Amino acid sequence: MPRQTVIPRQIVTFAVVGVVNTAVYYGLYLLFLHWLPYLGAHVLAFLLSMVGSFFLNARFTYRTRPTWRKFLLFPLTNITNFLVTTAGVYVIVDVLHAGNRFAPLLASAAAIPVTFVVSRRIMLPGGRDVRDRPHMPA
């Protein structure tokens, strides 16, 4: 697949994995609420959905082999998302005075490209997709 089509495909797949991850998180959160206080349910659901997100992104978004190094660095994508989203909410609400009802949704959408870049650097450290690498004979 030519490089020009790889990145747009990865962005779309990254977004789809994000939607699936959010649904998994919420389902787990609701399930864990039966046994845990809401904060415990949130933390456990968040951690499990982040693990799932790592493997889904490795397999479907970047088509790369998961490694311990990538797994341990992957939470940086969530930190990045949190920082960009938080800054975005602040700008939308306090600078642009656009109201706080939809600010998190807008800020989250704006965070997707930044989070994608961080995620791509973690998952593809050389910056190349597996299919971009030259074929090595056995």
* pLDDT at residue 32, rounded to an integer: 94
Backbone φ/ψ region at 97: left (φ over 0), alpha (ψ -120 to 50), beta: left
* pLDDT at residue 1, rounded to an integer: 54
Name the 3-class secondary structure at 97: coil
The CA distance from 125 to 138, in Å, is: 24
* pLDDT at residue 127, rounded to an integer: 60
The CA distance from 73 to 84, in Å, is: 18
Question: For the chain, which ranges sit under pLDDT 70?
Answer: 1-5, 127-138
The CA distance from 123 to 74, in Å, is: 8
pTM of the predicted model over 0.85: no
Q: Which two tokens stand for residue 124?
A: 């593809």
Contact, 116 vs 11, CB < 8 A?
A: yes
Contact, 21 vs 56, CB < 8 A?
A: yes
* pLDDT at residue 45, rounded to an integer: 93
The CA distance from 13 to 135, in Å, is: 25
Give 4's contacts (C-beta < 8 A, 6+ positions apart): none
